[in-house]
Structure 1
Amino acid sequence: MNLAHWLWQQAQAHPGRPALYSGDALLSDYAGLAQRVRQRAGTLAARGVAPGDRVVLWAANDPAYLVSLYALWWLGAVAVPVNAKLHPVEARWIADHAEAGLVLTDRRADWPADWVGDILALNAVDDRSDNAPQRPVRVAPDALAWLFYTSGTTGKPKGVMLSHATLVQMTLCFATDVEPLSADDRMLYAAPMSHGAGLYALAAVRAGAGHVVPESRGFDAGEIMDLAARHGNLVLFAAPTMVKRLVQAAEPRGYRGEGIKSIIYGGGPMYAADIDAALRAFGPRFAQIYGQGECPMTITALPRDLVADTDHPDAARRRVSVGYAQAAVEIAIMDPAGDECAPGETGEICVRGPLVMSGYWRNPQATAQAIRDGWLWTGDLGHLDAGGFLFLTDRSKDVIISGGTNIYPREVEDVLLEHPDLREVSVIGAFDDDWGEVVVACVVAKGPLQAADLDAFCTARMARFKRPKRYLFLPDLPKNAYGKVLKTELRQIAGEAVRG
C-alpha cells in the first residue's frame, strides 16, 4: 500500500479538516493539502520522476517539505531525506550514492556546481497537476519509500532502505504503544523533518490531525509555548536536549505545559534528573521511544503512564530504562557468539520483526553484517530486566549523541587526518550539561598548530554540528599492545583537562 493513500483517503472522507499550518496560520485543509501534493507531483512527473526513482530532500523544516514528501510517494518515488545541516559536499555524496536524479532544496546556491542532475527549489510553485494521477499510484508493500542515510564508524554513510510496509507498521506501533492521535491534535515539527519528526507525520495524516511547522523552522522554546497556547493539543518529537531547554525556558514565564498534549523524547540519553525536572514542570506529558534508522522509532517505548509513575516499587528505576518492546518487534540481548543473554546480563541489543530495514542500499556486505539469522544487530549494548524493560549501558559503535544528533567519530577523524600538519587523531565524546555530549578531537601535531587552524579546516569540509567543540593537543595517543587507541583513557585525559 502506498503511504500517500492515507492522505488521499483523508481528503475524501474529511476534506475540511485543518491540515497544514505555518505557525498559527492555516495554509490548507486536507482537501487543499491533497491538491497541493498533486500539483507538486505533477511538477515532479514533468521533470521525469517515476516510480522507484530516488529524489533528495535537502532542506530545513518547511510546509513545502511535507508537500514534497507526499508528492514523491504519490508518484511511487523514493524520498532521500538529507540533514539540512550537512555540508554540501556531504549532501552531494549521498545524492550520488543514492543515484538520485533530482534534488529538492532550499539551498540551491550552495549545491555543488558540477552536479549533473536536476535541481528544484523546495517551495517552487508550478501547477502541473495534469501530469499527476488522480490518486496515488499502487506500489508493492516492499517497495522502497524512505532511503535514510545513517553514518557508520567504518567509512561512508549507509543508506537504510525502509519500505512502505515497514513505515505502515511503524505508524501502527506509534498509535498502539506511544501516542494515539485524533483529528483535534496538532503535530509540531520542531525537530528535523528529515529524521524522526518527519516519520511521525504519517501518524498525524492517518489520524487526520493538523501539521504545524514553526515559523522559525526549528526549535525555539518561546515559540513552542506560544504555539501551544494558540493551538492546544500539541504533540512533538524532541531530543532530550530540547526537552531540557524547554523546561528551563518555561520556568521564568511560569509556563506549566498548557496546550502541550505529549512530548515524545528520544535520540539520545535522557538523564534521570532531567526527566524528573520535566515532570515537575509540565506533569505527565512525556513518553519515550528508542529506535534507530535501521528500525525506525520502534524498538522500545516507555509510555506516558510509566514515565510519570510513582506508585510501582521499581518506578524510578524503570523511568531510566528505554521501556519495553513495541508491538511489532522482538528484542534479544546477544553475546558475541550469538547466544541469548540472561536477564540482567549485558550484551548487544538485537531486534527482529517487520520494522527492521530491508537492508543497506548498494551495500550487501554491511547488510549481511547487520542482519544475521533475521536479527538486526544494533551495535548498542544493554540488558533486559526480568520484566522485559530495556536498559542501555553503552554504545559499541562509539557514536557521539550531541543535542539528539548522531555524530560518528570516524567521519570527523577522516576529515582531520587530511590536514598536513596532523600525525594522529582520535575523536571522542565528552559530557556536556547542555548538549549531552560534545565532540572533542584528541590530536598529535607534527609541529606548531592552533585550534583555530583546525576549526577553519573542519568548517570548510564538514557540517558545523559535527565540528569538534574542543581540541586536545597530546604528544602521543595512548594505545594498547596491539596499537589500538584507548578511547577510555582519552576520555579520562579530556575530563582531567576540563577540570584542570
Structure 2
Amino acid sequence: MNLAHLLARTARVFPERPALLLGTRAISSYSGLARRVAAIAGALRGACGLQAGERVALLLGNCPQYLELLYAIWHAGLVAVPINSKLHAREVAFILEDSQASLLFSGAGAAPSSPAAAMWSACVPRLRIIAVDDGDYQRLATSEPIAISAAAPDDLAWLFYTSGTTGRPKGVMLSHRNLLAMTLSYFADVDQALPADGILYAAPMSHGAGMYNFVHVLVGARHVVPESGAFDAAEIIELARSLRQLSLFAAPTMVRRLVDRVAARGGDGEGIKTIVYGGGPMYLADAQRALAVLGNRLVQIYGQGESPMTITALSRQHHADRDHPRHLERLASVGVAHSVVEVIVADANGRSLPAGEVGEILVRGDTVMQGYWHNPQATAATLYGGWLHTGDVGSFDGDGFLTLRDRSKDVIISGGANIYPREVEEVLLQHPAVAEVAVVGRPSTEWGEEAVAFVVCRPPMTVPGGDLDQLCLQSIARFKRPRAYFFLAELPKNHYGKVLKNELRRRFMPPGEN
C-alpha cells in the first residue's frame, strides 16, 4: 500500500482536524494538507515531468513544507531522499549523484543560484532545484491534483543515506512495507498515539523524528514544527505548556539539555506526553535524573537506518518499575525486541547465543531494509543468512532485555548524529604532513561523544591543528570535525598492524574505569 493513503484516509475521516502547526499557530487542516499534497504531486508528474520511481531529494531543515513534500512524493509514485541539512555541500553532491535525484527541494541557504547548487548541477546535469521559500514552490500547490499512484508493498519509498566504516555513504532502501511495519509496531511497542496528541519535530525530520510522522498522521494528531526549526529546550517547554500532550523523539543529549532546563525552572515537563529517546547511549545516571525530573514520560528505542526505529524498545512501564529487583540493569539496557522483528545475539558463525553471552546483534523482520542502493557488495556483507548484521555487540539477559556492549563499527554518536571515523581520517590524510591518523570518540557532557584525532606527522614535518581543522571544514560537515588533535610519534598497533583504537579511547576514560 502506498503510504500516501494514510494521509488521504485521515483527511476523509477528520477533514477539519488541525494537521500542521508552526509554533502554536495552526496553518493547515488535514483536508487542506491533503489538497496541497495532491496538487504538488500533480506538478511533480506534470510540470516537472517526473516518472514513477524517480528520486526527489529534500535538503531542508525542519519546516511545514517537509511533511507535505514527503506525502506529495509518495502520492506521485516517487522516492524520497531526505538529506541532513547540516552536511557539507560536497557530501550533498555525492548523495545527489549516487541517487541520481531528478529534483531537489532546498531551503534558502541552498537556493538555485548558490555556488553549492552549481556544484550539484555539475554532478547531476538534469537536476532541477526548487527553493521552498520562493514563488516556484508556491505555484506547485496550484497545479491540478492527481489520484494516488499505485504502489506495491516492496516498492522503494525512502532512500536514506548512512555512512559506513569505509566513509562512503550508503543508500538504505526502505519500502512502503518497511515503513508501514515500523508505524504499526509503534502502537504495540512504544506508545499509544491519540487524536488529541501532537508530535513535535525538534530533532531532524530527515532522520528518525520524521519517521514518526506516520503514526500521528494515522490517528489525525497535530504535527508541530517549532518556529526555531530546531531543538531549543526553552521553546519546547513553552510549546508543551501551550499545546499539551506533545510527544517528541530526541537524542539522549537533547533529553539531558531538556531535563536541565526543566529542573532549573522548577517544573516537571508539564504538557509533554512522551519523549522517545534513541540514537546513542543514555547513561544510567542521566536516565535516573530524567525520570526524577520529568516523571514517567520516557520510552527508549534502539534501531538503525537499516531497521528504522525498530529493533528493541524499553517501555514507559519498564522505566517506571522502580520496585523491580533488576530495575537499574533494565534502565541501562535498550529493552526488548519489537513485536515485528526477531532479534538474536550471535557468534561469528551466526549461531544464536544464550542469555548472558556477548555477540553481534542480528535482526530480521518486515522493517529490515531491502538492501543498499546500487551497492550489492555492501548489501551482501550486511544481509546474509536471512539476517541483518548490525555490527553492534550486546547480550540478552534471561528476561529478554538487550544491553549494548560496544559498537563494532566504531561509529561516534555526537548529539544524536553519526560521525564515522574513517570518513574523517580520509580527509585528514589528504594533508601532506600527515602520515597516519586515528579518529575516536571521547566523552562529552554536552554531546555525549565528540571526535578527537591522533595524528602522526611525516618527519621532520609538523602541522598546526588549525590547518587540519580548515581542511575538514572544506570537505565535511562542521559537526564531524575533530574537537582536539593529539600528535604522537606512532599509533598503538597489534601484531597485524591494526591500530588499537581501544588503547586510544582509554586515555579519556575516568580513573577506575579503564
Question: In the superposition, relative to structure 1, how do residues 110 and 343 fare at CA in structure 2: closer, same or farther (>3 Å)?
Answer: farther
Q: Name the SS of the counterpart of 1:297 in structure 2.
A: strand
- 1:118 aligned partner: 128
1:247 aligns with 2:259: yes
Compute the displacement of 1:155 (Å): 3.7
1:66 aligns with 2:80: no
- Residue by residue over 1:215-258, the C-alpha shift from the partner in whole angstroms, topping out at 9 and shown as x without a partner, is 00010000000000110000000000000000111122112110
- 1:207 aligned partner: 219
List aligned pairs for 1:182-201, cutoff 5 A.
182-201=194-213
Compute the displacement of 1:75 (Å): 0.4
- 2:288 aligned partner: 276
* Aligned-partner residue type, residue 129 of structure 2: I
- 2:445 aligned partner: 433
- 1:469 aligned partner: 483
- Supply the distance in 2 between the matched residues of 1:15 and 1:342 (Cα, whole angstroms): 51
* Aligned-partner residue type, residue 317 of structure 1: E
* Aligned-partner residue type, residue 440 of structure 2: I
State which of 353, 368, 378 in structure 2 corresponds to 1:366. Answer: 378
- Supply the distance in 1 between the matched residues of 2:12 and 2:368 (Cα, whole angstroms): 32
List aligned pairs for 1:405-484, cutoff 5 A.
405-446=417-458, 447-484=461-498
Note if contact 1:291-1:300 (Cα within 8 Å) is conserved in structure 2.
yes
- 1:36 aligned partner: 36
Compute the displacement of 1:131 (Å): 4.2
* Aligned-partner residue type, residue 64 of structure 1: Q
Gaps of 5+ in 2: none
Note if contact 1:89-1:112 (Cα within 8 Å) is conserved in structure 2.
no
- 1:401 aligned partner: 413
Question: In the superposition, relative to structure 1, how do residues 80 and 485 fare at CA in structure 2: closer, same or farther (>3 Å)?
Answer: same
- 2:90 aligned partner: 89
* Aligned-partner residue type, residue 464 of structure 1: R
1:224 aligns with 2:225: no
Q: CA RMSD in A?
A: 1.4
Compute the displacement of 1:492 (Å): 2.7
Note if contact 1:177-1:327 (Cα within 8 Å) is conserved in structure 2.
yes
The percent identity for this pair of structures is 53
Compute the displacement of 1:356 (Å): 0.6
Compute the displacement of 1:41 (Å): 1.7
- 2:80 aligned partner: 79
- Residue by residue over 1:339-372, the C-alpha shift from the partner in whole angstroms, topping out at 9 and shown as x without a partner, is 1111100000001111110011001111111111
1:386 aligns with 2:398: yes
Compute the displacement of 1:129 (Å): 4.9
Note if contact 2:162-2:171 (Cα within 8 Å) is conserved in structure 1.
yes
Question: In the superposition, relative to structure 1, how do residues 183 and 110 fare at CA in structure 2: closer, same or farther (>3 Å)?
Answer: farther
List aligned pairs for 1:337-348, cutoff 5 A.
337-348=349-360
Compute the displacement of 1:59 (Å): 1.1
Mean Cα deviation higher: 359-368 or 40-49: 40-49
- Supply the distance in 2 between the matched residues of 1:411 and 1:50 (Cα, whole angstroms): 34
Compute the displacement of 1:430 (Å): 0.6
- 2:23 aligned partner: 23
Compute the displacement of 1:50 (Å): 2.4
Question: In the superposition, relative to structure 1, how do residues 494 and 417 fare at CA in structure 2: closer, same or farther (>3 Å)?
Answer: farther
Note if contact 2:43-2:143 (Cα within 8 Å) is conserved in structure 1.
no
* Aligned-partner residue type, residue 438 of structure 2: S
List aligned pairs for 1:120-139, cutoff 5 A.
120-123=130-133, 124-127=137-140, 129-133=142-146, 135-139=147-151
* Aligned-partner residue type, residue 466 of structure 2: A
Note if contact 1:79-1:145 (Cα within 8 Å) is conserved in structure 2.
yes
Note if contact 1:19-1:28 (Cα within 8 Å) is conserved in structure 2.
yes
- Residue by residue over 1:175-229, the C-alpha shift from the partner in whole angstroms, topping out at 9 and shown as x without a partner, is 1110111110000000000000000001110010000000000100000000001
- 2:309 aligned partner: 297
Q: Name the SS of the counterpart of 2:494 in structure 1.
A: coil
* Aligned-partner residue type, residue 433 of structure 1: T
Mean Cα deviation higher: 108-117 or 178-187: 108-117
Gaps of 5+ in 1: none
Note if contact 2:362-2:389 (Cα within 8 Å) is conserved in structure 1.
yes
- 2:50 aligned partner: 49
Compute the displacement of 1:455 (Å): 0.8
- 1:264 aligned partner: 276
- Supply the distance in 1 between the matched residues of 2:248 and 2:408 (Cα, whole angstroms): 29
Structure 1 residue ranges, 4+ long, deviating more than 3 angstroms after superposition: 127-132, 493-497
User: How many pairs were matched up?
Assistant: 496
TM-score (norm 1): 0.97
* Aligned-partner residue type, residue 453 of structure 1: D
Compute the displacement of 1:495 (Å): 5.5
